[in-house]
């Protein structure tokens, strides 16, 4: 924590309601920041304290079909966000990848960089269809592989059989 706060203030910030101060207390009782028997909503946690907070998954309580629908919607949105970055000319590199991973993790999406399977594909559009289910995402492949795919390449750029391209993919 950057500054001191009461259990109720932490509950308000993390769970949008002070009534969850008991949850914050229960999660953090073993850290020695306070005596459990004396804890109350005004119990202060000192600045610099490392506290535990639980988040409930957005998938909690949903059936399998709904989970798949939510995941697919979020996955498509993530690919659109990456495509917007590529279209804006932002250079892809470790810092951008790390920022994307952090942003998408908050949305319960995991990014993985992996070698592309190039069997039975000839162009960037075909490879985009394989991994992203739409050929418009060929720009992502060019974006992820700036040293391997020329900056003036378009979706019909032919992939040499010896090329080792990388794919940044969202996994369940």
Neighbours of 98 (CB within 10 A): 11
22 vs 61, more confident: 22
pLDDT band at 42 (very low <50, low <70, confident <90, very high): very high
In terms of C-beta density within 10 A (0-12 exposed, 13-18 middle, 19 or more buried), how is residue 25 classed? buried
Per-residue pLDDT tens over the stretch 75-84 = 999 999 999 9
Q: pLDDT > 70: what percent of the chain? A: 99
The whole-angstrom separation of Cα 115 and Cα 146 is 15
Query: What is d(CA 22, CA 5) in angstroms, rounded to the nearest whole number?
Result: 14
Rounded (10°) CA dihedral 138, 115, 132, 171: -150
31 vs 127: CA distance, rounded Å: 50
Domain boundaries along the sequence of the chain: 5-45, 64-171
Could you report the per-residue pLDDT of 87-113, keeping only the tens digit for each? 999 999 999 999 999 989 888 899 999
**Two structure tokens written together for 138:** 């060929």
- pTM for this predicted structure: 0.68
User: Would you state the structure tokens that stand for residue 86, as one six-digit string?
Assistant: 């590529």
User: Quick one: pLDDT at residue 49?
Assistant: 92
Q: Measured between alpha carbons, how far is 91 from 147 in angstroms, rounded to an integer?
A: 11
Residue 60: per-residue pLDDT: 78
């Amino acid at each position: 924590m950057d500054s001191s706060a009461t259990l109720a203030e932490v509950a308000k910030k993390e769970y949008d309601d002070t009534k969850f101060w008991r949850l914050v207390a229960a999660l953090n009782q073993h850290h020695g920041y306070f005596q459990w028997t004396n804890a109350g909503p005004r119990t202060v946690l000192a600045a610099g304290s490392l506290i535990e907070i639980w988040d409930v998954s957005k998938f909690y309580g949903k059936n399998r079909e709904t989970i798949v629908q939510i995941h697919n919607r979020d996955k498509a949105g993530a690919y659109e966000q990456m495509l917007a970055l590529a279209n804006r000319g932002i250079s892809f590199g470790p810092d951008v990848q790390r920022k994307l991973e952090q942003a998408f993790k908050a949305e319960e999406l995991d990014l993985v960089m992996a070698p592309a399977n190039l069997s039975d594909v000839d162009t960037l559009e075909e490879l985009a269809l394989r991994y992203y289910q739409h050929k418009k995402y060929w720009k992502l492949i060019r974006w992820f592989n700036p040293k391997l795919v020329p900056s003036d390449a378009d979706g019909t750029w032919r992939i040499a059989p010896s090329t080792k391209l990388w794919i940044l993919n969202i996994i369940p």
